[in-house]
Amino acid sequence: TLVLANDERVRLIGVDTPETKHPTKPVQPFGPDASEFTRRAVEGRYVTLKFDREKRDRYQRLLAYVYLKDWCLNEELIRAGLGECVTRYPYDSSMKRRFRAAESEARSARRGIWSR
């Protein structure tokens, strides 16, 4: 989850990263790495949010693809092995294909969560 300058919370579509702040779960392996990757990528920068079918989740967080120019944070977290591709929710099929390909690349290279 990202927090924007206006305090709006944004959930990245199609990505599940290891937990770092869950109230009942311990910090999971590679969770801090995913948080740091995200922080370094977007902190203090202007990002573009692209929305899909659902604009908000049940917690009222925005659901978005987060871009810095044409670099997609959602996809790059998966490619770095710092998150899994999640396809069980309805979102754009071309993005699902991109995210699956990024996960396949991370798995093959044994990056991050796939290194264990």
19 flagged as catalytic: yes
- 3-class SS at 79? helix
In 3D, which of 66, 79, 78 has the Cα closest to residue 12? 66
53 tagged catalytic: no
Q: Which member of 9, 19, 107, 111 is catalytic?
A: 19
| H or E element in which residue 2 lies | strand 2-3
61 is catalytic: yes
Question: Which one from 36, 45, 56, 61 is the annotated catalytic residue?
Answer: 61
Q: How many CB atoms lie within 10 A of CB 61?
A: 16
| Residue tagged active-site, from 11, 100, 107, 111 | 11
Q: Among residues 14, 84, 77, 82, which one has the least CA distance to residue 51?
A: 14
Nearest Cα residue to 115 out of 12, 18, 26, 1: 18
Catalytic annotation, residues: 11, 19, 61
